[in-house]
Structure 1
Amino acid sequence: MSQIGYDPRGAWRAALACMVALAVAMGLGRFAFTPMLPIMLHEGKLDLQGGGVLASLNYLGYFVGALVCAAIHMKAASMVRCGLIATAALLIGMGLVQDFTLWGILRTAAGVVSAWTFVFASGWGLRRLAETGAPALGGVIYAGPGIGIVATGVLGGAVGRWGSEAGWIGFGLLSLVLIAVIWRIFGDREPAGAANIGQSAPPTAAEAAAARSDAGWLVALYGLAGFGYIITATFLPVIARQALPGSPWPDLFWPLLGIAVVVGALIGARAPVEWDNRLLLACAYMLQASGILLSIVWPTIAGFALGSLLVGLPFTTITLFAMRDARRLRGNASAGLIGYATASYGVGQILGPLFAAPLAQRTGSFTVPLLVAAATLGLGAALFVHVWSRSRLAQGRLPT
């Protein structure tokens, strides 16, 4: 098996480039909407149900974009570049138009290109880290969305003082600056021998069947995570303002969540490779469910702050462990499985706001949607433990 030696400079170069790519595509391209939503509600440009529709359209685009990734045959780096430029253009477009239908088109398209960027940057980055002997730097890659969330949370309130149009355009211009910094890195030529990294002997029929089963479970259960987190991720400032009227804190919980995302990604990447990804995912799901429940049972500044931390810590760690499991099952041919898993995640994200916004507008509270979200994550955790224990039994490692 041909391998490429340890190259710390190349590893950090790839990890940081992917981190910035995900900060732009996910943190700005997708989640700028969260701090911008209260501003647009205050300006009277949207009501809560309209905000839920725009959020779900974005997640619908994410689903479609992820689903077609398996059929795209362009180079990963080229797809990342295309996705980043499109993200910046679509953010600026949100500030230039003032029509709900056009907003819907722009948010749908933003979802498509963010999925492309996520899937191909993940595959490109994790492969580069494997080639350069530094897989632990995967946490740096998945800190990217958290950095973008912090930026949108901190800057959202400031730029929002000049109106939502200025906010959207400002985020688009910031994206262009970040893209310029990493543009050349995604033009790097593939190193010789890269195609051989991670290849091993062909699996037996039994191993192939077990891998297919595990892949199916991964796709299904990753979708539960999409539903479980998205209500908080879309409506956190709105939920906090309902619980803490007149407090200056609600706008700070979103960047606090983003900081936790960065910390969680860096900690999660240090998990030993011999630890089972399915058990790690189960723990992450339960941690996030606990954070959601805190906002219900302890609707105070302290409760929302701790809840934001608990939701944020496993936010992209869940993605990291899921992508690791995809590589465990498919190696360098994992792009298709990553795409299908990301599409499943997208289905959960589509359903979350469509379920939560009308119910919250009718009842005046997000309590029931949040309870359902926490229960969904609890179910996902239990099923991951079930899949893990079943595979252990099949391998004869547990008493029968």
Structure 2
Amino acid sequence: MTSFESDRRGAWRAALACMVTLAVAMGLGRFAFTPMLPIMLHEGKLDLQAGGLLASLNYLGYFVGAVTCASLRVKATTMVRSGLIATAALLIGMGLLHGFSIWGVLRTAAGVMSAWVFVFASGWGARRLAETNSPMLGGVIFTGPGVGIATTGLLGGVVGRWGSDAAWIGFGIVALALIAVIWRVFDDGAKAVPASVGMSAAPRSAAATQAARGDAGWLIALYGIAGFGYIITATFLPVIARQALPGSPWPDLFWPLFGLAVIVGALIGARAPTHWDNRLLMAIAYALQAAGVVLSVVWPTIVGFALGSLLLGLPFTVITLFAVREARRLRGNSAAGLIGYATASYGVGQILGPLFAAPLAQRTGSFGVPLLVAAAALGLGSVMFAWVWSKSRASGRMAAV
């Protein structure tokens, strides 16, 4: 086998392993709750407000995990392996243990694990792909959440027939099976990646440094809007669809459709040339998600929910991909801190979404107002990213004169 073939095989192995990792940590560990919520509501184990609080506790855990990543001094492979095992255990615990308090602890811990695994696995994968000159495979990594979401959506309706306890345990067993497949890829004995591999920040003038700081501030602030804008639909989609389409078999299919759209969007987004401006790309992605959220309100039919799920899912991980690219453009290989702050901002948005939506929906009997507020937030984020991009272009033209 030639060196090129070996590198190519290693790149695919790393990308697929990271894809499965994110499928377990994000798709199962975080988002299995979405298809499980209507089942637990039907069983009387939760009401809508309690379900929203559990969701927010999970997102609070994600926030805590994001802000603590920079302080962890653990090998990436060790963190990924331990986080994956913990995720599987927490899923099984949801089925074996009962009571709102213990569920709150489990969902919070699952959020922490998902953030740690996401940051360390995506960072490890990005360096492996850089080492093998295969950055375009980054899209494969970011299909992971979509794979996990589609899996939970398709399996949730099946295993849910035996009750939520069996479904949670089943998800944990699926997670363990997937972990076993990729376990050896995250081997501490793998070839080390030099710190110099990847993108390095070019020397900057004082004015350029000030502009980069301003861009970093906008990235942190506006990335949080994405967390708030998508999370209401992502948390309550099956519940919303069941309210609008009572007795229809379709509501349980919109969540896996969302996951499939995430996969397609990640593969397409990764092919966007690196010289395209990340801020403009994020403005477009935000606008697509805003349109998807609005569709579920103004067109609450099978077609409307299907199109809305597609428009919400296509840019889901693409937004993260472009945000990471933007952070690396601004900070090079020292981007971890900026990515952590941006992820924390995103986490705050996710925490606020269910806390805002669930009580209002329970009082009014409709998610219409919370969804329109979420769509307006995404629209604002789109406009602001477009403005920052336009302002940057204008400054660049003035500097060139």
1:334 aligns with 2:335: yes
Counting only pairs closer than 5 Å after superposition, residues 1-400 of structure 1 correspond to structure 2 as 7-189=7-189, 191=191, 194-197=194-197, 198-199=199-200, 201-396=202-397
Q: 1:5·1:133 contact (CA, 8 Å) conserved in 2? A: no
SS at match of 2:207: helix
> Displacement, 1:207?
2.6
**d(CA) in 2 for partners of 1:81, 1:203:** 38
**d(CA) in 2 for partners of 1:121, 1:276:** 25
- Give the TM-score, by structure 2 length: 0.96
Residues 140-195 of structure 1: CA deviation (Å, up to 9, x unaligned): 01100000000000000111111100000110111111111111111154545621
Q: Look up the equivalent residue of 1:139 and give its one-letter code.
A: G
Q: 2:128·2:193 contact (CA, 8 Å) conserved in 1? A: no
> Displacement, 1:376?
0.4
> Displacement, 1:212?
1.8
Q: Look up the equivalent residue of 1:199 and give its one-letter code.
A: S
Q: Look up the equivalent residue of 2:355 and give its one-letter code.
A: L
Q: 2:201·2:332 contact (CA, 8 Å) conserved in 1? A: no
Residues 274-298 of structure 1: CA deviation (Å, up to 9, x unaligned): 1111111000000011011111111
Q: Look up the equivalent residue of 1:247 and give its one-letter code.
A: S
Stretch moving more, 372-381 or 10-19: 10-19
**d(CA) in 1 for partners of 2:13, 2:49:** 42
Q: Look up the equivalent residue of 1:254 and give its one-letter code.
A: W
Q: Look up the equivalent residue of 2:257 and give its one-letter code.
A: L
SS at match of 2:271: coil
**d(CA) in 2 for partners of 1:200, 1:280:** 21
**d(CA) in 1 for partners of 2:236, 2:68:** 28
**d(CA) in 2 for partners of 1:50, 1:261:** 28
**d(CA) in 2 for partners of 1:215, 1:253:** 35
Q: 1:237·1:251 contact (CA, 8 Å) conserved in 2? A: yes
**d(CA) in 1 for partners of 2:263, 2:201:** 33
Q: 2:201·2:329 contact (CA, 8 Å) conserved in 1? A: no
> Displacement, 1:251?
0.4
Q: Look up the equivalent residue of 2:285 and give its one-letter code.
A: A
- Structure 1 gap ranges (5+): none
> Displacement, 1:9?
1.2
**d(CA) in 2 for partners of 1:399, 1:297:** 47
SS at match of 2:275: coil
**d(CA) in 2 for partners of 1:151, 1:93:** 19
Distance 1:99 1:310, change over 3 A: same
**d(CA) in 2 for partners of 1:308, 1:357:** 20
SS at match of 1:194: coil
- Structure 2 gap ranges (5+): none
- Give the TM-score, by structure 1 length: 0.96
> Displacement, 1:331?
2.0
> Displacement, 1:206?
2.6
Q: 1:14·1:185 contact (CA, 8 Å) conserved in 2? A: yes
SS at match of 1:60: helix
**d(CA) in 2 for partners of 1:398, 1:153:** 51
Q: Look up the equivalent residue of 1:157 and give its one-letter code.
A: G
**d(CA) in 2 for partners of 1:9, 1:189:** 17
**d(CA) in 2 for partners of 1:120, 1:377:** 28
Q: Look up the equivalent residue of 1:22 and give its one-letter code.
A: L
Q: Look up the equivalent residue of 1:277 and give its one-letter code.
A: N
Residues 215-239 of structure 1: CA deviation (Å, up to 9, x unaligned): 1111111100000000000000000
SS at match of 2:195: helix
Distance 1:347 1:5, change over 3 A: farther
Q: 1:120·1:335 contact (CA, 8 Å) conserved in 2? A: no
Q: Look up the equivalent residue of 2:221 and give its one-letter code.
A: A
Q: Look up the equivalent residue of 1:378 and give its one-letter code.
A: G
**d(CA) in 1 for partners of 2:192, 2:254:** 46
> Displacement, 1:95?
0.5
Q: 1:70·1:336 contact (CA, 8 Å) conserved in 2? A: yes
**d(CA) in 2 for partners of 1:87, 1:45:** 22
Q: Look up the equivalent residue of 1:268 and give its one-letter code.
A: G
> Displacement, 1:389?
1.5
**d(CA) in 2 for partners of 1:199, 1:77:** 23
**d(CA) in 2 for partners of 1:368, 1:267:** 32
Stretch moving more, 198-207 or 326-335: 198-207
**d(CA) in 2 for partners of 1:193, 1:170:** 37
Q: Look up the equivalent residue of 1:336 and give its one-letter code.
A: G
Q: Look up the equivalent residue of 2:293 and give its one-letter code.
A: I
**d(CA) in 1 for partners of 2:62, 2:193:** 33
Residues 313-345 of structure 1: CA deviation (Å, up to 9, x unaligned): 111111111111112122222222211111110
**d(CA) in 1 for partners of 2:329, 2:207:** 16
SS at match of 2:162: coil
User: How many equivalent pairs are there?
Assistant: 397
SS at match of 2:186: helix
Over aligned residues, Cα RMSD in angstroms?
A: 1.7
**d(CA) in 2 for partners of 1:159, 1:340:** 38
